Structure 1
Amino acid sequence: MDISKVRAILFDLDGTLYYQPPLRMLMGFELSTLPLTMGSLAKTRSVLEVIKQFRTIREELRHLGNPSECLKEIQYQQASKVVGVKAEEVKRIVEEWMYHRPLKYLKWCRRMGAISFFTEAQRRGIKIGVFSDYPAQEKLEALELESFVQLVLCATDKEINAFKPHPRGFLRACECWGLPPQEVLYVGDRPEVDGKGALAAGMPCMMVGGTFQRPSQGSVSEENISSFRGLQQLLSS
């Protein structure tokens, strides 16, 4: 990959800037204490079912593309219908257990080499942004990476209103930076979501622990990248 042509790097967040397995283990332990803290198995089951169904519905909503309705509201309304509780309660549970409670663990799950890479990219004048399907600002602060990031986008922002792999969010980043997609590298961890969306936007992409793919008229080139240290070596070369 010719890194010299890259003027900005756009990152996914969940699974890309931190390791998900240890976070899931820690949150699983916390959820296991719910019967004691809530004093009710029925309430515990309700919370667990809301989280499970919300995750499932979010994946299904990827096929909606860019709907005319507000995607942020659709996700809670759809989950509400499935689990049989009010949309406001679904939102409360999701915000507590998926957005806020994990924050205290994120620093300890941050990917090795992330700070070093961000520091080097900043030194070289490369713009850094984050585009995630979930709200990212508080997570960046918990990861202690917010000072490196100039652009933070979420799929449910009104200017985007589309989950990955729809290209709208990727192109929105290019609009904000005033750069063509070919000069923005996207770094994610899910080829079927991050990679597919970036390529649909005409943007080169790299999967942490996976492969790099560059859109071209001919064959697609690939380059293995295993970690942020590998990404930094590529940047330095």
Structure 2
Amino acid sequence: MTKAGALFPGGLAARLEGRKLVVFDVDGTLYDQSRLRRAMAVRLLSHIALTGNVSTLKALQAYRHAREVTADAQRADFEAEALAAAARAGRISETRARELVAEWMQERPLPLLSRCRYGGVAELFARLRTRGTLVGILSDYPAAAKIQAMGLEADAIAFAGGPGVPFQKPDPSGLQHLMEIADASPAETILIGDRDERDGEAGRRAGVDVLIRTSQPVGPDMFRSFTALIGSA
């Protein structure tokens, strides 16, 4: 601990002090999403080579694109639209599209997540628990299995389309839902994400402080690594 008894030293990390709730985005924030996607791309290309079928690739690409578009438009039927787009692109049924999304985006990546987790994440979670700070998870995709696969624990997990969260970020409903669960005010809450246009904007709309993890920090609310963020105890 520092001489002042704080769990987090100065700079951006000091903004974690005095919070009742720290909310984390998942994909690209807690783990290296580019590394995971490269690993999954190898597996998907191997699948295509074995089967000679590119419908899975086309469906997944269309699904991801549709999720981005519907997030910008803030439509509540985002999942149905994305699955419909995946089905059209892959020339498959929507039921099959749903199965492919579950398999390739939710299930197959799980064994890879622990090795893709960013350094310092587990230590930060541990420090927050030492302080009695509540840890919240807010994702645009179901996240409970991912958190478990990374060896992490959270007090509350919310995702777009789940209970109390009708829209994707940057809509603030997910943050507001977690604050209600934790009985935390905006001033007692901070959000840590990786996309300012999504996570940062959601925080601003909710009146919540935000830190953005990025490989190229260029602003006062950005940091490069969790190891640097937490500093030395």
TM normalised by structure 2 equals 0.87
> Which of 5, 22, 44 in structure 1 is aligned with 2:35?
22
> Which of 3, 7, 10 in structure 1 is aligned with 2:23?
10
One-letter amino acid of the counterpart of residue 91, structure 1: R
Q: What is the deviation of 1:129?
A: 0.9
Question: 2-side partners of 1:211 and 1:169: how far apart?
Answer: 25
Deviations 1:175-202 (A, max 9, x none): 1111111211100001111111111111
Where 1:187 maps in the other structure, the secondary structure is strand
Call closer, same or farther: CA 1:211–1:199 in 2, change over 3 Å.
Answer: farther
Question: Number of aligned pairs?
Answer: 219
1:228 paired residue number: 226
Q: What is the deviation of 1:58?
A: 0.3
Structure 2 gaps, min length 5: 1-13
The answer to whether the 8 A contact 1:71-1:161 is kept is no
Aligned: 1:192 with 2:197: yes
The answer to whether the 8 A contact 2:56-2:90 is kept is no
Identity of paired residues, percent? 28
One-letter amino acid of the counterpart of residue 45, structure 2: S
Question: 2-side partners of 1:51 and 1:8: how far apart?
Answer: 34
> Which of 46, 52, 55 in structure 2 is aligned with 1:46?
55
Call closer, same or farther: CA 1:2–1:194 in 2, change over 3 Å.
Answer: closer
Question: 2-side partners of 1:181 and 1:166: how far apart?
Answer: 15
RMSD of aligned Cα (Å) = 2.0
Where 2:231 maps in the other structure, the secondary structure is helix
TM normalised by structure 1 equals 0.85
Where 1:75 maps in the other structure, the secondary structure is helix
Aligned: 1:150 with 2:163: no
Call closer, same or farther: CA 1:181–1:211 in 2, change over 3 Å.
Answer: farther
One-letter amino acid of the counterpart of residue 171, structure 1: Q
Question: 1-side partners of 2:148 and 2:122: how far apart?
Answer: 13
Moved over 4 A (4+): 210-213
Structure 1 gaps, min length 5: 214-221
Q: Superposed, which structure 2 residues align to 1:81-100 within 5 Å?
A: 81-100=88-107
The answer to whether the 8 A contact 2:212-2:221 is kept is no
Question: 2-side partners of 1:2 and 1:187: how far apart?
Answer: 11
